[in-house]
Chains A and B, each alone.
Chain A
Amino acid sequence: MIESSQSRTPEELDEEVRRILHARTRRSFLIGGAAALAGVGLYEVLYRAKAVNELQWPLREAHEANRSLTNALFGQRVLAPTYKASEVTGLRINGDFGIDTGLIESSWGLQLVGLDRPQQYRQFMPDVDLWEYRSKDDYQAPTESQEPDVKGKGPGSSKAPAAIPHMQESTGVTASADAVPGIVLRLEDLKKLPYTEQITQFKCVEGWSQIVRWGGVRFSDLLRAYPPANIDGGPPKFVTMETSNGEYNASFDMPSLMHPQTLLCYSMDGVPLQIAHGAPVRLAMPLKYGYKQIKSIASLTFSNVRTPDYWEKLGYDWYAGL
């Protein structure tokens, strides 16, 4: 072996080394190239995967898996840190989706559907859908409505109606097949329940955060006063909430709502909630991003069906847990 190599020139021996190197290089680059192609292929498969509510199903599944995993890890009872009054920054107004800015607060009621024996309450309605939310925007004289835009034109356009005959509409009406029996709570009814205040950090999915002083009723306190009916032999699993104009909804699993810091909030900074922040009642829950903290809640339905909500249908995570 040594003799054979001595018989060759160093150039020939270098060539031998290069031959080994080139064989190895070829093999490695072929494997590497195939792996790169496989990677691009997988990426394409993911990119083109069928969308579920605007988001590729593997990404949707990842959100769901992340929810299961983090809930298994942390549970759903961890308390968010609270802050001192001096740390309150106030909350910026960031979107009016589903808010009827002309809502006449005296016509507001919170519909609860799916309660245990709703007839026992004096606020019972055989069909809560007949409850009428009045809006200043609806009270335009016929002549005015012919004009392009009369909103905020003068005192006439903001004139409140003389009477709000919501209850009359339900009386005497025989319940039809699609009637939704339930109760309608007024703000006074909510104010009779224990009042809770908390200063927590509000986080928007856009990235920003602010420290806000919230006041209202714990969801769990509402449930204690108005317990839901069992569904299929057990307590309901989900709740869907909707605004008065039906343009915005949010749905939740029961543990998220039963969290002690989940409030049906009607005051901010110690004063009644502004309409832009979701008056008369909105949700405040430090366990979730702002897009789940629905403003201007009008109805609340217990169910075992998880309804796709406003932002989920636009591609966002349903759970949005923090």
Chain B
Amino acid sequence: MATIPHLPDEALPADRTVPLHVVPGATIDLHRKHSLAVRWMHWINFPLLFTMIYSGLLIYWADSIPASGHLSAVYRVGFGHWTLFRLFPQSWYAAVGMQYKVPNGLGYHFFFMWLFALNGIAYVAYLTISGEWRTLVPPLNDLGKALRDAWGVVLFDLHLRKEEPRRKKYNAAQKFAYTGTIVMGGVMLVTGFAIYKPTSAHWLTSLCGGYEMARWLHFWTTMAFLGFFVIHVVQVVMAGWNNFRSMVTGVEVQPAGRSGVEEVHD
């Protein structure tokens, strides 16, 4: 058995997977796909983001009680004075089994915000230093093509187009989605701070378009996170066990002989 020398996890080159174990004559190879750091930060982010959203919801609840006679102007879908619906109906909180505890929401939110921020900052720092950001960020020099490619992926995934889009480690749509989560995380931190310290850091609140606009952005970016989460989970289920396992083990099984450098269809 010929084994490629064990690569340290941090040595993952950009925009490709690396053959990890190659057994000559075998029809399958093991490829290193996700670095150890990315796997840890990905899974740590999951409960942190969940806690931030849940505690945030406890805080929002106080501004969406019809009995108060003052309905939130922020958490609604509508146009001008016309409102289609408001978030969230009291029945929804009851269905999720939440208890009305605003101080607990505030307590958890202002505790876990630090962990969420630190994990996100560590992630961005890691991507920058390791060069892995090249795998993730859409090619900025040809954004038009990147967007067309991403649109092609969407059409393919919706079974509206037969031709499978070309990809390296991530396809064009994945690049936009994953880079999008980083941008969204940044928006959450900035708007969150603008809401948290609107007097002390009033310049930041003004930059966000004022206190109410910061709240609007904070809320709808959370909704975007939830949208990402739903699509992400569906895609992971569709992609199958080999792909999911790689987010835990770091390795993926691929047909033999692939260097991982070239664009692939599978």
Contacts and interface: CB of A to CB of B under 8 A. Distances in A.
A6 B25 contact: yes
Nearest to A95: B68
Given A14-B28, A16-B1, A17-B28, A54 B199 contact: no
Nearest to A66: B110
B148 interface: no
A17 B103 contact: no
A54 B102 CA distance: 12
Interface of B: 1-2, 21, 23-30, 43, 47, 59-60, 62-63, 68, 70, 72, 74, 101-104, 106-108, 110-111, 114, 196-202, 206, 211-212, 215, 245, 248-251, 253
B103 A25 contact: no
Interface in A92-118: 92, 94
A205 B62 contact: yes
Nearest to B64: A207
Contact of A207 (B24, B63, B206, B250): B63
Contact of B70 (A2, A92, A201, A314): A92
Interface of A: 1-2, 5-6, 8, 10, 13-14, 16-18, 20-21, 24-25, 28-29, 32, 35-36, 39, 43, 54-56, 58-60, 62-63, 66, 70, 73-74, 78, 80-81, 92, 94, 201, 203, 205-209, 286-287, 311, 314-317, 321-322
A207 B59 contact: yes
A234 to B, nearest CB: 26
A5 B24 contact: yes
Given A81-B206, A286-B199, A58 B111 contact: yes
B111 to A, nearest CB: 4
B38 to A, nearest CB: 13
B47 A28 contact: no
Contact of A74 (B30, B63, B68, B201): B201
A17 B107 contact: no
Contacts of A32: 43, 248
A21 B251 contact: yes
Given A13-B23, A14-B27, A74-B200, 19 more contacts: A2-B2, A17-B26, A17-B28, A18-B28, A25-B249, A59-B110, A59-B111, A74-B197, A78-B199, A80-B202, A201-B211, A205-B62, A207-B59, A207-B63, A209-B212, A315-B101, A317-B107, A317-B110, A322-B198
Given A80-B202, A208-B63, A314-B103, A62 B111 contact: yes
